[in-house]
Structure 1
């Protein structure tokens, strides 16, 4: 955005002395001027209004630093500076900050979903940007990873793959960037960005870990529940791992929502494998019980259900490293990105 400043300065003298003014906002936005005062626009002593324009001021910058220099012989002048001046109130003309209405999440500039490298020293540098502001980045690496997949649409519902039952708004959502990771100890991690089908500027950043996935017989013997489809015995099952932190962070209309998972509920698990009528040949189901508030409305008994296909899967051969970035702009829009790096060592 552009910021225009009007700075009234009084007690000037029109005998050829100079005044130098600088203005800076954030990093990289700077303007300056030098004036040798020989007259006043109004013809009256002793005030002038100086104008400076700052270009490309970041949306999260909310202050401007102004410096007035009247020292002798400074700034390349051969004459003396003004002996003393008074600056009055500063008038600013600021184009509305894009932060106030920005609903677009950051994007990756040069991200390849999968890389095969000969050596870890070749690990690529990935950069991110936003059309409105600077971004903050939280970066994590996970190794070893057994399998990494993207979450896609299932075969039963072609517009939604995750539902927030009990919500005061549209319950249908889908994974905009959603991922499932499996680790060698059979545990799993579900993470990514979920958006509302009716309002894709609103949704959730989700990060949930699951205990070791077990076969159907072991799951039922431990008291687990499941759906009653013919392929239920072919899938793996795992409960939410409450020993690890989870994240349900709302954005858009869900900003400020306070949701927590209910630990003593049977509906805190996922399954993995084939489900011809729902996920397809390879996918995952999700059942989470939650409670809390959404936009001030209380949800005492809600469930989050999911049915997603698993696509773009990468399975370990030698070394498989998962790189994860959570990238947030000044308006609070967050996106989640991953890169799967295979090392041929």
Structure 2
């Protein structure tokens, strides 16, 4: 390139509208190599350096770190589409940071709007939750709660559906609901029954895969009932629900079995509390396993109550021990 077509560092800075210090920084970083040196050892740049410098400044304006800018520039020399990977990665990182900021803002509003006597407890609750929130503890709760030796495909499917995804832009109420849910599942769940209701515990002849395969079908049917806004009622969804328990325990589906199942499910406050908090997090109108479960249990209870006057025989499957007291809300 002829010498007259070359620019000094000051001339390049003037054309680009930046300081000499900025040009020198990008040159020293390897992002803006000079074309040559003058006889006195001064840097010289060709006109193409102006476009490169403008690209560097545009990428830096997007808050890309200097190493990321260098990789993006190298890719741009080969093909423009390569920049999409850099942009997509930075968008993901930026989205995570913005979600964290929204959760922090909602948490601060929650504390601001709380009564003075509530603030200390709520501060402890939300202080134990990361931002953006992590659902690992919720998934761990379900893996601990589900029966042992359940097929991995069922465990993965159930955990995926049972763990609610926190919203990207939460309300203060949703922040509180997630904090309570996180504290709830992080609590100790001691005992050989792993905190499960009697109807889910392993026993002689118990087949957990039969139970959970049947429950998945029952939940699909109940979801259709909920979408149609039908109240809990007898029908195919309830029959499938009861059949899943009966088949897993090797018992016939009889009125006595349904009465016993209703009592055993009602004696498990832990999972019902989980569904309540999950519903507060996801908000109304969102199809969830919890909404399905509540509908099915209500349908069973309603049918048992309607048939109660005709029931005289004792329930051979009923638990002899009293139902545990409901777990306190965190």
TM-score normalised by L of structure 1: 0.25
Larger radius of gyration: 2
- Structure with greater helix percent: 2
- Structure with greater strand percent: 1
TM-score normalised by L of structure 2: 0.26
